Structure 1
Amino acid sequence: MFNFLKEKIKKIYTSFTTHISSIFSRNTLDEQFFKELNDLLIESDTGTITTNKIIEKLKNDTAQQKITTMEQAKQELENLLLNNLNNAQPASLTPKITLLVGINGSGKTTFGSKYAHLLQQSGKKVLLVAGDTFRAAATQQLAEWGSRIGVPVFIGKENQDPASVIFDACTTFKNEHFDHLIIDTAGRLQTKVNLMKELEKIRKIINRQLPNEEIHSWIVIDAMLGQNSLRQAELFHEATKLDGLILTKLDGTGKGGIIFAINEKLQLPIVYVTFGENVQDIKVFNAQEYVHHLLFE
């Protein structure tokens, strides 16, 4: 399965794996080796903090002769990258109530639709909610996706308060015995205070309507934005409780390191990745496979 994904996101592997192979083809673990590895990690958006930690650990292990060969150094690099991704609490892959947050253009609506289709394919009854009532195009896009995949979409009136739409959607969810509720929220870039208030209001409505259900908030991030993705994730993380991270458009970037930078800063589990326009272009994120294929051709 992952070889298929590797083909889909070959920009990352072509860009990173080729260079990493070149660096590790050197004969000695010298300063030039560490400089080249440092530069590659930074260029791949791995982030200064994560990169410094990796280089410092490899240098120390080399100095203490815990690492004496390139093969050992590469294995330790794999371990360090994996530890970075595994330091977050695992997320539920199929929560009953999912709140999708993130800025406009991050791919929230498309991800929500692909995720709904995934659940539907496993025999679940899914309700999508158009919570972005301020942008007609967002509602229309979700309605089109719903029609395409055969999943009902709950749509309020234009400019209706999002919390009011979600209140009504929760009633439908209960009355019609749906298994999953996926809420596509507005993606406006706003102040942290306003964002916090809006998301808090939505959470209160859901808790009132569905008191026995846990709400899972996933932030949807565009992989192509690099370090800007990290800044967005930080804003939302400060504004509301996040349970997981979705990385979209992974096929459009050659910089796969942002995954490690976000994890280092926020310790959020990556739940799914998407990588194309087709409804099937979605996979559960597997840290071990991702890291191994980054380092080994």
Structure 2
Amino acid sequence: MLINCVVYENGSKLADIPVAEISEYVARPGCFAWVALTDATPDELDEMREEFGLHELAVEDARHGHQRPKIEEYGQSLFAVMHLLEPDSDHPGQFNLGEVDVFVGPNYVLSVRNRSKQGFLGVRDRCEREPELLRHGAGFVLYALMDAVVDRYFPIIEALESELEDVEQQIFTQRAARESIKHLYDLKQRAVVLKHAVAPLLEAVSKLHGGRVPQICAESQDYFRDVADHLVRINGLIDGMRDTISTAMQVNLALVTIDENDVTKKLAAWASIFAISTAFVGIWGMNFEQMPELKWQYGYPAALLLIIGVCSYVYYRFRRAGWL
């Protein structure tokens, strides 16, 4: 579906135009067209390919979707893929993984957003408020779109860090081990999804500043360097979070092992106490005629007192040792 199709000249909005007139304005010096699509159909992509002269391989990637974040160069044009992560309203705590494909040429920008409810109208408004920057052309628009995508990663990682702090506090709560492990593993999965969105994009953006860069981005290198700095920061936060999650899982498992050892100690201590009483009873329960205690008037209470006394002493020693 077409969202908007706008032509700009010298950093200012010229007009909203129909798709059929795109090729006409693209051919005019000093103009560039910015078109936005969402969940584009194959027919719409084919139409855009004809209007802009897009490379067939890039169009094929956009048509199939589910691409790894990347930036590819086709002659004087670029094709960028970025992942869009949004909270899934139907499954709390999960992500909805969307994608935005951006075709950039010397005088055009085409963004195709798929499986995402968050648009980029704010990006267009921002660019139109800064005509002196918009004069840089399509390269600056690519930066603005990329910056908007990267900025959306920060609230996600902050939410993950907040969840991780809550789980870390629950780790030391009794009988919460199983739930803590499930929650930690779920956090680790979401961190991996975010990592898969950030790490490849960081590698791709590094090609847009310093050294040899595409001509389209030559005047916007400083801005792409800023995006790269944000991605480096996010990537470091993700790595730190994953390490913390792994440590928390190990601590959780260690606490489970300690609890099991405590239970084992208690069972062993009680088993020892009952073994003592069983030994005494077993000895006096033997059917021998010549047993001096059998004819003694106070034999029975004396035996009970002896058993209780020995068991109490053993219980006392286990208590001092911390087993009971």
Is the helix fraction higher in 1 or 2?
Answer: 2
Structure with the greater relative contact order (CA < 8 A, sep ≥ 6): 1 or 2? 1
Same fold (TM over 0.5): no
Report the TM range for the smaller structure's normalisation.
under 0.3
The TM-score normalised by the length of structure 2 is 0.25
